[in-house]
């Protein structure tokens, strides 16, 4: 493998999310454990000054160098974490410090690769580093990113996106997935898998996988869409086609789709499926229900439709998900239903 130690500079600032800063170095440090002391990464924390930085969790972190000092060197990977504030209505808003943006722009100029973790994408976008590129961020701030930076193609679904030497990662724990992908890019897939095993991770998720947590929290702006979301939750076991929802909202099918795309950034069908998968995940984690019952309760109709949805959104099966995430003992009555091959099932234009 050779004697290669790549310098990774992580940007620090007041209020930065703690896991965004500490998660990636844990991944990078395990590369050396799997090889030797001369191979892997050298992680450097950079800030405005050498004073301690207080994170969003209240934990103080000491920088290794100042931004000015970091800019005088050569950086392999610049990693930009994020920070948010939550208003009285529990809406999440990404914070962007203009001085940090200016330094990130400067540091990017001496970096081989630039990455963001979670809402750090807002800082990259403000620095002009995402213009004309496809990027992701935590789903709760995706609409803000798209509104503030129309030159960026925002896709809130994947857990991370690579556009040349610019990488953006999704919400919180996805920093581990992004870090593993960087390890795979630098040292190969086998090394990344070895590191994932050391982390006791469920799996090394591919970039195209959806963020596990779907946007079901109240992030929309109008009462009409809130009413529709509550209606969907109350009637999750019913067909919930576009005409059904349009009739309930007293709008045309086209207008309903426009409302969902404007307010939530997705089509009605995507939102309904996400809500159903979320409910199914909860039942798999906390009950002994069979796949047949879960499929019925959640509006999928049949186990094979449930399996297809899980493969499409989570790249796994309901049985495997239950095996990994169930809080109590093993459930019964699921294996046979999960043997249905989604590829053999006929496609459908309905939500069920």
Return the CATH number at 193: 3.40.50.880
Element (H, E) at 75: strand 75-80
Tell me: pLDDT of 272 over 60: yes
Flag whether 11 is in a domain: yes
Is 330 inside any structural domain? yes
Specify whether 280 is located in the same domain as 153.
no
Residue 267's domain is classified under what CATH number?
1.10.10.60
Q: Report residue 336's pLDDT band, with 50, 70 and 90 as the boundaries.
A: very low
pLDDT the model gives residue 326: 66
From CA 246, how far away is CA 166, in angstroms rounded? Answer: 40
| Residue 218 belongs to some domain of the structure | no
In this prediction, residue 345 carries a pLDDT of 37
Structural tokens at position 115: 């990455």
Distance, in Å, from the CA atom of 234 to the CA atom of 238, rounded to the nearest integer, reads 9
Which pair of tokens denotes residue 309?
Answer: 């949805």
User: Does residue 202 surpass a pLDDT of 80?
Assistant: no
pLDDT tens for 175-186 read 888 999 999 999
Considering the domain architecture, whether residues 272 and 325 belong to the same structural domain is answered as: yes
| CA dist., res. 10 & res. 301, Å (int) | 47
Same domain, 103 and 245: no
**What is the domain range of residue 23?**
5-198
Q: For the range 263-268, what are the long-range contacts, defined as Cβ-Cβ under 8 Å and sequence gap of 24 or more?
A: 263/220, 263/221, 263/222, 263/225, 264/215, 264/219, 264/220, 264/225, 265/142, 265/143, 265/146, 265/154, 265/156, 268/242
The reported pLDDT for the residue numbered 352 is 35
In a shared domain, residues 232 and 101? no
Residues 35 and 88 in one domain: yes
- Judged against a pLDDT cut of 90, whether residue 286 lies above it is answered with no
Most confident of 170-174, 179-183, 196-200: 179-183
For 251-259, what is the mean pLDDT? 94
| Residue 137: per-residue pLDDT | 94
* Cα-trace Rg, the chain: 22
Q: Residue 6: what pLDDT?
A: 93
The CB-based long-range contact list for 84-89 (8 Å cut-off, 24+ gap) reads: 84/17, 84/56, 84/119, 84/138, 84/140, 84/141, 89/218
- pLDDT at residue 206 above 80? no
Domain for residue 111, yes or no?
Answer: yes
Q: Please indicate, yes or no, whether residues 186 and 231 belong to a single structural domain of this protein.
A: no
Q: Is the pLDDT of residue 303 over 70?
A: yes
Mean pLDDT (the chain) is 85
Q: Are 275 and 328 found together in one domain?
A: yes
How much is the average pLDDT of 322-343?
50
Pairwise pLDDT comparison (198 vs 101), residue with the higher score: 101
Tell me the pLDDT band of 219, cut-offs 50, 70 and 90.
Answer: very low
Q: Clarify whether residues 17 and 128 are in a common domain.
A: yes
Residue 213 lies in a domain: no
Q: How many CA atoms lie within 13 A of 84 on its CB side?
A: 24
Instruction: Answer whether residue 331 is part of any domain.
Output: yes
Is 184 within the bounds of a domain? Answer: yes
Query: How confident is the model over 37-49, as a mean pLDDT?
Result: 90
Residues 297 and 233 in one domain: yes
The pLDDT of 326-344, averaged and rounded, is: 44
Residues 70 and 107 in one domain: yes
The per-residue pLDDT for range 56-101, each reduced to its tens digit, is 999 999 999 999 999 999 999 999 999 999 888 778 899 999 999 9
pLDDT score, position 189 = 83
Query: Where does the pLDDT of residue 243 fall: very low under 50, low under 70, confident under 90, or very high at 90 and above?
Result: very high
The pLDDT score that the predictor gives to residue 346 is: 35
Mean pLDDT to the nearest integer, 37-44:
86
Question: Do 115 and 157 belong to one domain?
Answer: yes
HSE toward the beta carbon, residue 321, CA cutoff 13 A: 24
Same domain, 70 and 193: yes
Interval 138-160 mean pLDDT:
91
Residue 340 pLDDT > 50, yes or no?
A: no
How many structural domains comprise the chain?
Answer: 2
Q: Would you state the pLDDT for residue 90?
A: 78
């Amino acid at each position: 493998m050779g004697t290669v130690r790549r310098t990774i500079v992580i940007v620090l600032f007041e209020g930065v999310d703690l896991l965004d800063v500490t998660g990636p170095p844990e991944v990078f440090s395990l590369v050396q454990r799997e090889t030797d002391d001369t191979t892997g990464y050298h992680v450097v924390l950079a800030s405005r000054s050498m004073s301690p930085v207080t994170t969003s969790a209240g934990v103080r972190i000491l920088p290794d160098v100042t931004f000015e000092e970091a800019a005088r060197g050569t950086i392999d990977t610049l990693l930009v974490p994020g920070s948010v504030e939550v208003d009285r209505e529990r809406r999440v808003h990404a914070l962007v410090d203009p001085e940090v943006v200016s330094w990130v722009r400067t540091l990017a100029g001496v970096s081989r690769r630039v990455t963001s973790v979670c809402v750090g994408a807002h800082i990259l976008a403000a620095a002009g580093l995402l213009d004309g590129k496809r990027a992701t961020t935590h789903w709760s701030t995706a609409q803000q990113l798209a509104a503030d930076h129309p030159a960026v193609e925002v896709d809130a679904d994947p857990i991370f996106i690579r556009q040349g030497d610019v990488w953006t990662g999704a919400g919180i724990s996805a920093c581990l997935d992004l870090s593993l992908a960087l390890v795979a890019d630098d040292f190969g897939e086998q090394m990344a898998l070895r590191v994932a095993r050391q982390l006791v991770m469920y799996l090394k998720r591919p970039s195209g996988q959806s963020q596990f947590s779907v946007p079901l929290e109240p992030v929309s702006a109008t009462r009409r869409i809130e009413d529709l979301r509550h209606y969907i939750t109350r009637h999750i076991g019913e067909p919930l086609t576009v005409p059904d929802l349009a009739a309930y909202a007293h709008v045309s099918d086209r207008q309903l789709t426009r409302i969902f795309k404007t307010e939530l950034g997705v089509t009605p069908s995507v939102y309904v499926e996400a809500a159903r998968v979320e409910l199914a995940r909860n039942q798999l984690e906390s009950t002994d229900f069979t796949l047949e019952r879960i499929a019925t309760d959640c509006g999928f109709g049949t186990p094979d439709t449930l399996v297809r949805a899980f493969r499409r959104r989570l790249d796994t099966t309901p049985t495997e998900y239950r095996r990994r995430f169930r809080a109590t003992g093993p459930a019964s009555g699921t294996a046979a239903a999960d043997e249905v091959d989604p590829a053999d099932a006929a496609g459908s234009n309905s939500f069920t």
